[in-house]
């Protein structure tokens, strides 16, 4: 078809290419800026001298972040919570999705209606809050983990996967061989479900890693704060961080030291954003295709 390109097509292609490159750069820039600002001299960043390149390279902000206990406690909590939530979510979602994908299950329409209705209607924030309170989960990890342990949307994605990837003949053959339904699920279906397990695990993990609102509702003890909640207090509430590495203290002038402190606090924010997003950014190129797969499987349903 290339030889059929007319003049107007060439113009179209060129404009399209230029616009696409511009859009991509605009989307990339805030991320790029975060990285260069986090390793530049905070003073230069505040003065607007850092635009395209690192200026006055320093790892001071990172040093300050690394000695900040709260961030590490948050990291630890988020790692634990995310891990447990993923296990719980897989344990509930995959078996249910599989069962709903089987033709032999009776009242399937009824079961699906029972699940799908909750996607469109909910009791609202307050009754859920009172429920968690009533269950005695407030100010425990479980308040963040258990309610995140299952989502109907993920179940539908997994069900679609089983429906389109597993042949009914496999089940029949297994039953003829005398396998129980549990046997079929654990020994035949699970080993073939690597892709969908990865999709669901990643969906849940990313969602949990980035969540902060449940912590606002349910967590009061500092030692249980997840990473995003700590991040919020630093970035949004502007809470003072214990900065001890301010190197210009010897200048003697209190005012200057104060200013320096202020710049350092601003500079640290970029490094905090970078550090907290790092696991996602590292994992992202590898897991991207699973996410896309998830979106597409989900779309088939509609």
Partner 1 sequence: MRSFPSPDGLPNTSHGGYTVKKTKPSETRPVLARESRLAAAKKHLKSYWQLYVLLLPAVVFIIIFAYQPMYGAQIAFRNFSIKKGIWKSDWVGLEHFERFVTSSVFWPLLKNTLGISLYSLIAGFPAPIIFAFMLNELAQQKLKKAMQMITYAPHFISMVAVCGLIVLFTHREYGLINIFLRAVGGSGVEFLAEPKYFKTIYVISGIWQELGWGTIIYLAALSGVDPQVVEASVIDGASRFQKIIYINLPYILPTIIILLILRCGSMLSVGSEKILLLQNALNMESSDVISTYVYRLGIKDAQFSFTTAIGLFNSIVNMIILSAVNYLSGKLSGSSLW
> Looking at 61-69, 206-214, 243-251, 253-261, which segment touches partner 1 (CB under 8 A)?
206-214
Q: Does residue 120 touch partner 1 according to CB under 8 A? A: yes
- Please, which of residues 54-73 interact with partner 1 by CB under 8 A? none
Q: Does residue 258 touch partner 1 according to CB under 8 A? A: no
Q: Which of 183, 211, 199, 217 has its CA nearest to residue 287? A: 199
> Looking at 136-144, 192-200, 240-248, 268-276, which segment touches partner 1 (CB under 8 A)?
268-276
Q: What is the contact mask toward partner 1 in residues 92 to 111, using x (rule: CB under 8 A)?
A: xx-xx-xxx-xxxxx----x
Q: Does residue 223 touch partner 1 according to CB under 8 A? A: no
Q: Could you please report the per-residue DSSP string of 56-108?
A: S---HHHHHHHT-HHHHHHHHHHHHHHHHHHHHHHHHHHHHHHHHH-TT-TTH
**What CA–CA distance (Å, rounded) separates 108 from 10?**
54
Which tokens is 164 given?
Answer: 């389109």
Kindly tell me which of 167 and 250 has the beta carbon lying closer to partner 1: 167
**What CA–CA distance (Å, rounded) separates 187 from 181?**
10
Q: CA 48, 53, 55 angle in degrees (round to 5)?
A: 65
Q: Does residue 269 touch partner 1 according to CB under 8 A? A: yes
Q: Does residue 191 touch partner 1 according to CB under 8 A? A: no
Q: Does residue 295 touch partner 1 according to CB under 8 A? A: yes
**What CA–CA distance (Å, rounded) separates 27 from 274?**
16
Q: Does residue 286 touch partner 1 according to CB under 8 A? A: no
- Minimum distance from residue 105 beta carbon to partner 1 (Å): 5
Q: What is the three-state SS of 26-55?
A: HHHHHHHHHHHHHCCCHHHHHCCCCCCCCC
Counted residue by residue, the chain has a size of: 302
**What CA–CA distance (Å, rounded) separates 93 from 158?**
8
Q: What is the contact mask toward partner 1 in residues 127 to 156, using x (rule: CB under 8 A)?
A: xxxxx--------------xx-xx-x--x-
Q: Does residue 220 touch partner 1 according to CB under 8 A? A: no
- Minimum distance from residue 10 beta carbon to partner 1 (Å): 10
Q: Does residue 165 touch partner 1 according to CB under 8 A? A: no
Q: Does residue 6 touch partner 1 according to CB under 8 A? A: yes
Binds partner 1 by CB under 8 A, chosen from 3, 110, 121, 254:
121
Most distant pair of Cα atoms in the chain: their distance: 86
């Amino acid at each position: 078809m290339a030889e059929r390109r007319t003049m107007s097509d060439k113009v179209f292609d060129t404009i399209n290419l230029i616009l696409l490159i511009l859009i991509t750069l605009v989307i990339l820039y805030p991320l790029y800026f975060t990285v260069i600002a986090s390793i530049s001299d905070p003073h230069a960043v505040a003065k607007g001298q850092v635009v395209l390149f690192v200026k006055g390279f320093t790892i001071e902000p990172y040093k300050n972040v690394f000695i900040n206990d709260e961030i590490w406690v948050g990291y630890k909590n988020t790692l634990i919570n995310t891990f447990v939530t993923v296990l719980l979510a897989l344990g509930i979602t995959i078996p249910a999705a599989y069962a709903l994908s089987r033709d032999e299950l009776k009242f399937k329409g009824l079961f699906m209606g029972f699940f799908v209705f909750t996607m469109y209607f909910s009791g609202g924030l307050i009754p859920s809050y009172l429920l968690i309170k009533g269950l005695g989960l407030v100010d425990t990890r479980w308040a963040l983990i258990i309610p995140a342990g299952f989502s109907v949307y993920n179940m539908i994605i997994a069900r679609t996967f089983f429906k389109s990837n597993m042949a009914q003949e496999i089940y029949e053959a297994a039953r003829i061989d005398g396998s129980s339904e549990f046997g079929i699920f654990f020994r035949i279906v699970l080993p073939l479900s690597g892709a969908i397990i990865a999709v669901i695990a990643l969906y849940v993990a990313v969602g949990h890693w980035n969540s902060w609102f449940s912590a606002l509702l349910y967590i009061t003890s500092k030692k249980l704060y997840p990473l995003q909640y700590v991040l919020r207090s630093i970035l949004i509430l502007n809470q003072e961080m214990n900065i001890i590495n301010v190197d210009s203290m010897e200048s003697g002038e209190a005012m200057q030291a104060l200013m320096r402190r202020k710049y350092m606090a601003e500079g640290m924010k970029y490094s905090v954003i970078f550090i907290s997003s790092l696991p996602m950014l590292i994992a992202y190129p590898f897991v991207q295709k699973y996410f896309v797969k998830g979106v597409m499987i989900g779309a088939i349903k509609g």
